[in-house]
Amino acid sequence: MRAARGSSSMSFGFVRAAALVAALLLLPAWAAAAPLEVYGRLPSIEQAAISPDGAQVALVVTDGDKRSIAVLRLSDRKLVAGASVGETKVRDITWASSDHLLITASITSSPPMGILAPRQEWMLGADLDLKANALRPLLSGVPDSLNTIEGAPSVRIIAGKPVAFVEGTHFEQNEGRLALYRVDLDGGRALLAAEASENTFDWLVDQQGALLAEVEFDAGSAIWTLRMRQGGQWRALKTEHGDDFPDLLGLGRDGRSALIGVDAGARELAPDKSDWGELFAPGHGQVFLFDPADGRLIGYLDQTLDDQRYTFFDPRDQAGWDGAVKAFGGRRVSFVSISADHKKLIVLVDSSSNGPAYAFVDVGAGTSLWIGAEYAALTGSDIAEVRPLSFKAGDGLALHGYLTLPRGRDPKALPLIVFPHGGPADRDEPGFDWWAQAMASRGYAVLQVNYRGSDGYGWDFLSAGFGEWGGKMQTDLSDGVRWLAGQGLVDPNRVCIVGASYGGYAALAGAAFEPDLYRCAVSVAGTSDLRRFVAWSKAQHSVSTQRYWDRFMGAKGPGDPHLADISPADHADRIRGPVLLSHGKDDTVVPFEQSAIMLDALKKAGKPADLVVLDKEDHWLSRGSTRLQMLKAAMDFVERNDPP
């Protein structure tokens, strides 16, 4: 077999979207309160990245369900290049050089004919070549491969030329295996750089493009091995039994070592050493920052409670960042992108008066320039106050979260929406949250609790959630309600619960296991029958994914009777308030059948329930029209059952 295998392709067209970009650079002022459309539509600007030379910024901009890539010259904010990607979902943009912008996108699709795989989210990669005025798929036409990729490419500059390393699938005798491809962007040629063994999970390449590290994981024995290459030979540096195999995050500070992600944080590991090296900011959900020129680690974000602190290893970088943050007068400033010389930045500035917006900062010149608002139609009158809060759970565990308060209302005895985050190993953060703000705009206080099992508070807090689905992870939410009621802020008789993904499960579990607390519940893409879900997950995904769910749910496989004990669908008869279900037909993380099962259980139990079907929508609400459809249906439902 020599011909390249095809799969559903990303549809690209080269455009000059000057009118659209010009509109996004304006900040209109609305006199009236914003409608739900302002919050529910996709962000006007979804992503931004500065070119290595600091002269251009690439933006992902939206228009309804459609997305475009716009490249602006920063000196005059003129559009110099653009590409329309239609309804394809852009997941990442990365500059490989000032002439090459790499685009990672995804589509939900069945596999190509002859490939045995479930319907899933397929990742696709393309290179926007500004010199050639062309957009090319990264792996198009590569023999014996799919044109899909596994994650965003890694960029290395080799002999002065930009090279992308991307993981894909290589076929031999009709058997597909993970492979690493080297793509010469100037020449447009892709070559097979490495093919995986049966258990290879990931690779890392050094600054010269040679393999530096790899991780193998034997799903049957749950044994993982971390190898590094030294003197042309592979050396096993760490072998352990367990599900928590390390992640290859990138190159370390010296460009020779590897940054390894582990449960407790991340460590640098050099090929000639066997110890784990320094532990960075253990367990606080770090974001690591890498040099766009050579790929080495230059800093990291460590976030605890409400504070976020960016640490740069070079004092000059730290001074430049601190100066940029200070210039925005106490507003929350997040790192987005940096130029190769570290003198120019793109940041996201979250303001209580105008909402989040992207800005360009010239550190050397000490100047800044607004690029555009993340939500172009937002004004200060559309943004509600967000208060951090701390309280103790019933068992004494310290908990933290946020309360969004509706504008223009006395914060006393307010109607409340409990809004648990997904994951569950994720967290809520301060700053603008489109969904929480939309609910607050309708007169509700919104409670977001970082319950036990949330990320960002250390390993002990994360692991405290193991086995607590439907248990203490759930009562952490209700303890928050009782604490707010004790403060006089909310009316405990006017509480609904709304959530998505794990938050959708928590909404159903709250209705089933604490029926006296919640007047109504909205579950978006939530799990309801955990036995069916775990069995489906085992069939669709890896054994390691199965073990992840077993750990958090406190179960031993799909047949564990404990799963029935914590499945809302098995306890639909206990639910008292009405339930609204909403689910995307293209969800490949939690199958649509989970909401269908719950609807059937509620109907059989004689409970009021309805299901909103989101056509062509995935698990992440990536389409503007269906995201807005969900939001409107949810708020109409809550307002009918618990008027503000």
pLDDT of residue 382: 93
Do the beta carbons of residue 25 and residue 44 sit within 8 Å? no
70 touches 61 (CB < 8 A): yes
51 belongs to a structural domain: yes
444 and 403 together in one domain: yes
| 600 membership: H or E segment, kind and range | helix 593-604
Structural domains counted in the chain = 3
The CB-side HSE value for 86 (13 A sphere, CA atoms) comes to 9
Instruction: Tell me which long-range contacts 543-548 makes (C-beta under 8 A, separation of at least 24).
Output: 543/219, 543/220, 543/222, 544/217, 544/219, 544/222, 544/243, 544/245, 547/222, 547/243, 548/243
Q: Would you state the pLDDT for residue 115?
A: 65
The token duo for 641 is 């059952």
Q: What is residue 230's predicted lDDT score, i.e. its pLDDT?
A: 83
CB 540 within 8 A of CB 213: no
Q: Out of 352, 378, 404, pick the residue that ends a domain.
A: 378
Last residue of a domain, one of 518, 538, 566: 566
Q: 538 in helix, strand or coil?
A: helix
Report the C-alpha gap between 306 and 313 in whole angstroms.
23
The rounded distance, in Å, linking the Cα atoms of 505 and 527 is: 5
Please report where in the chains the tokens 């390449």 appear, as a residue.
Answer: 205
pLDDT digits (tens, 9 = 90+) for 107-151: 888 776 556 666 788 899 999 999 998 999 999 778 888 888 988
**Same domain (yes/no): 494, 627:** yes
User: How far apart are the C-alpha atoms of 240 and 217, rounded to whole Å?
Assistant: 10
Q: Give strand pairing partners of 302.
A: 309
For residue 325, give both structure tokens.
């943050």
Mind listing the pLDDT tens digit for each residue in 276-295? 666 665 555 568 999 998 99
Judge whether 260 lies within some domain: no
Is 573 a domain residue? yes
pLDDT at 276: 66
Size (the chain), residues = 644
Domain co-membership, 483 together with 615? yes
Determine the Cα–Cα distance for residues 106 and 620; give it in Å rounded to an integer. 12
Residues 460 and 558 both lie in one domain: no
Low-confidence residues in the chain, pLDDT < 70: 1-33, 112-118, 243, 263-264, 274-286, 305, 541-546
In a domain, 163, yes or no: no
Evaluate whether residue 170 is within a structural domain.
no
Q: Is residue 287 part of a domain?
A: no
DSSP letter at 216 equals E
Clarify whether residues 488 and 631 are in a common domain.
yes
| Judgement on whether residues 411 and 511 belong to the same structural domain of the protein | yes
Residues 611 and 507 in one domain: yes
Q: Which residue type occupies 472?
A: K
Asked whether residue 144 is domain-assigned, the answer is no
Residue 272 lies in a domain: no
**In CATH, what number is assigned to the domain containing residue 487?**
3.40.50.1820
Q: How far apart are CA 302 and CA 280, in angstroms?
A: 9
Please give the pLDDT value at position 400: 96
Are 523 and 542 within one domain?
no
My answer on whether 359 and 482 are in the same domain is no
Last residue of a domain, one of 378, 400, 430: 378
Other CB atoms within 10 Å distance of the CB of residue 116: 7
pLDDT given for residue 633 in this prediction? 98
Domain that holds residue 545: 530-566
Contact 513, 428 (CB under 8 A): no
**Which residues fall within 8 angstroms of residue 68, CB to CB, at 6 or more apart?**
15, 17, 20, 60, 61, 62, 82, 83, 84, 85
Placement of tokens 């010469």 in the chain: 184
Residue 184: closest CA among 203, 156, 149, 210: 156
Q: What does the pLDDT read at residue 21?
A: 45
Q: 147 and 6 in contact (C-beta within 8 Å)?
A: yes
In this structure, the answer to whether residues 536 and 439 fall within a common structural domain is no
CA distances, 149 to each of 119, 126, 169, 429 (Å)? 16, 10, 7, 31
pLDDT of residue 198: 80
Q: Within this chain, do residues 535 and 523 fall inside the same structural domain, yes or no?
A: no
Q: What is the pTM of this model?
A: 0.91
pLDDT value, residue 179: 92
Residues 538 and 587 in one domain: no
